[in-house]
A and B are shown apart, each in its own frame.
Chain A
Amino acid sequence: MNCEWRQKAVLFADDELGHAEQEEVSAHVSRCAECASTVTGQMELKKAVRIAGHRFTAPAGLRANVLAGIPAKPRRRSLWQWVLVPATLLVLAALAFFLLLPQRHNESLLAELVDQHVTTLASQNPVDVISTDHHTVKPWFQGKLPFSFNLPELAGSQFVLLGGKMVYVEQRPGAELLYEIRKHRISIFIFQSRSDDKPVVRPDHPLAFTVETWKQSGLQFSLVTDVSPDDAHRLKSMFEDANKS
């Protein structure tokens, strides 16, 4: 268990070799079980650290403070926003109370997603990548998430893509895509599904939002919106078609 290439296999897994050496080591790794195992082990650990390391998201207040410190780009802050923020917090608190109070813990995911949707609606910067083109939005997530997904073609539908951002729910990184139809917004959340995932359980009482969840191609999709269930279902179907494996 001491192949002389082991050190190079480590550098190979870290993508730290020059092109020629990279190919040379790659060829060796494909023949040497020990080095193959070294590379796999290291890739696995790197992936685990990448996912676990992304643990904290900047609070909204920090973003505002940082922006306030950057001059030359006038930012309009109208009064209604200051009114809206406390109002939103109230809604959030009410929702959290409503959703969490008597429920089992596997409903908390649903509550978090609804919270996240409401926060997005109230946010000054609802998305981090602003584009109506899914060819722009999808690549933005590459390298930021440990998984990939497809976005549906919207031509011929009334849905408009507004953009997307990274979200962390239950310490898992995921994507939030924001869509609009008839002035109403829809959030689609995509996470990697885990084998120990419990099924998302709906609370017994009616929700203020339409929520759809489904699993597909190793991913956990969730949709949160105040549009009609028909429209919600239409977008869900489009996502299902786009992500057929």
Chain B
Amino acid sequence: MSGLNSKDFEALALPLLDPLYNFARWLCSDPGEAQDLVQETFAKALKNFASFQQGSNFRAWMFTILRNTFLTSRTGLERRNTTQEDEEEFEDLVAGVENPETILIRRADVELVQEAIAKLPPNFRDVLLLADMEEMRYQEIADVLGVPIGTVMSRLARARKQVRECIVVTLGVKQ
């Protein structure tokens, strides 16, 4: 049992409010739904805080609750029924690396990158945002999403490849 109380919970959890809400908005684009999702996440986390192991990864724990709560929501269920990306494994890892476009990425503005992220298949987007926005480790992402680490790596490579291509196509057309 941990000796943590609700004050500790507040100190640990409140700094995560913005990141969790931000991620929730990416999960379900409706602001009201995202707010409900975050509130439910905090309520569940508080209720189960006693089972949280002191010293383990609180942020990953909160994101896991958020993601699982999302999957049981209406939007989450719809998404589970509609998304079935092929899951090619590890050998895909380098697919995300195409270099001559680096200069274009540098020129891309925030809105364009946001559009590119929004266009990703949801499973790829989750991995990309957790890796490159939340700066989580592969293992943390695997824990949050409940998938093998190889799946994390291949989704990440493919997500990066698609974002890159989207930016290159858009900027290429503009020129």
Asked whether, in the complex, the Cβ of B6 is within 8 Å of the Cβ of A72, the reply is yes
Asked whether, in the complex, the Cβ of A41 is within 8 Å of the Cβ of B101, the reply is yes
Asked whether, in the complex, the Cβ of B97 is within 8 Å of the Cβ of A57, the reply is no
For residue B137, CB closer than 8 A to chain A, the reply is: yes
Taking residues whose C-beta sits less than 8 angstroms from the other chain, chain B's interface range is: 35 or more
Q: List A contacts of B133 (CB < 8 A).
A: 49-50, 53-54
Asked whether, in the complex, the Cβ of A49 is within 8 Å of the Cβ of B22, the reply is no
Asked whether, in the complex, the Cβ of A62 is within 8 Å of the Cβ of B94, the reply is no
For residue A133, CB closer than 8 A to chain B, the reply is: no
Interface of B: prevailing SS: helix
For residue A42, CB closer than 8 A to chain B, the reply is: yes
| CA gap between A10 and B154 in the complex, in Å | 12
Question: Restricting to B11-56, which residues have a CB under 8 Å from any CB of A?
Answer: 13-15, 17-18, 20-22, 25-26, 31, 34-35, 38-39, 42-43, 46
| CA gap between A6 and B157 in the complex, in Å | 13
The listed residue (A37, A53, A63, A194) touching B129 by CB distance below 8 A is: A53
Interface 0/1 of B66-79, CB less than 8 Å to A: 00000000000000
| CA gap between A71 and B128 in the complex, in Å | 35
Question: Restricting to A25-58, which residues have a CB under 8 Å from any CB of B?
Answer: 34, 37-38, 40-42, 44-46, 48-58
**Which of B5, B13, B21 has the most chain A CB atoms closer than 10 A to its own CB?**
B21
Asked whether, in the complex, the Cβ of B160 is within 8 Å of the Cβ of A42, the reply is yes
Query: What's the nearest-Cβ distance from chain A to residue B56, in Å?
Result: 20
Asked whether, in the complex, the Cβ of A49 is within 8 Å of the Cβ of B132, the reply is yes
For residue A7, CB closer than 8 A to chain B, the reply is: yes
Given the known interface contacts A42-B97, A49-B128, the answer about A171 and B21 at a Cβ–Cβ threshold of 8 Å is no
For residue B7, CB closer than 8 A to chain A, the reply is: yes
Given the known interface contacts A42-B160, A49-B163, A72-B6, the answer about A58 and B102 at a Cβ–Cβ threshold of 8 Å is no
Q: List B contacts of A46 (CB < 8 A).
A: 131-132
For residue A14, CB closer than 8 A to chain B, the reply is: yes
| CA gap between A69 and B10 in the complex, in Å | 10
For residue A104, CB closer than 8 A to chain B, the reply is: no
Asked whether, in the complex, the Cβ of B106 is within 8 Å of the Cβ of A70, the reply is no
Asked whether, in the complex, the Cβ of A55 is within 8 Å of the Cβ of B22, the reply is yes
Interface 0/1 of A58-75, CB less than 8 Å to B: 110111011101111100
The listed residue (A6, A10, A52, A66) touching B38 by CB distance below 8 A is: A66
Asked whether, in the complex, the Cβ of B6 is within 8 Å of the Cβ of A56, the reply is no
Given the known interface contacts A10-B97, A38-B99, A71-B6, the answer about A52 and B113 at a Cβ–Cβ threshold of 8 Å is yes
| A contacts, CB < 8 Å to B | 6-7, 9-10, 14, 16, 34, 37-38, 40-42, 44-46, 48-59, 61-63, 65-67, 69-73, 128, 143, 166, 171-172, 194, 196
| B contacts, CB < 8 Å to A | 5-7, 9-10, 13-15, 17-18, 20-22, 25-26, 31, 34-35, 38-39, 42-43, 46, 93-94, 96-99, 101-102, 105-106, 108-111, 113-114, 117, 128-129, 131-133, 135, 137-138, 157, 160, 163-164
Closest 6 CB pairs of A and B: A53-B133, A52-B113, A58-B21, A49-B132, A56-B25, A37-B99
Q: List 22 A-B contacts (CB under 8 A).
A: A6-B97, A7-B94, A9-B97, A10-B157, A41-B97, A45-B105, A48-B105, A48-B108, A50-B132, A52-B110, A53-B129, A53-B133, A54-B22, A56-B22, A56-B31, A62-B35, A63-B17, A66-B13, A66-B42, A71-B6, A171-B110, A196-B109
- What would 5 more interface pairs be, CB under 8 Å, given A41-B101, A42-B96? A7-B94, A34-B99, A55-B25, A57-B22, A143-B135
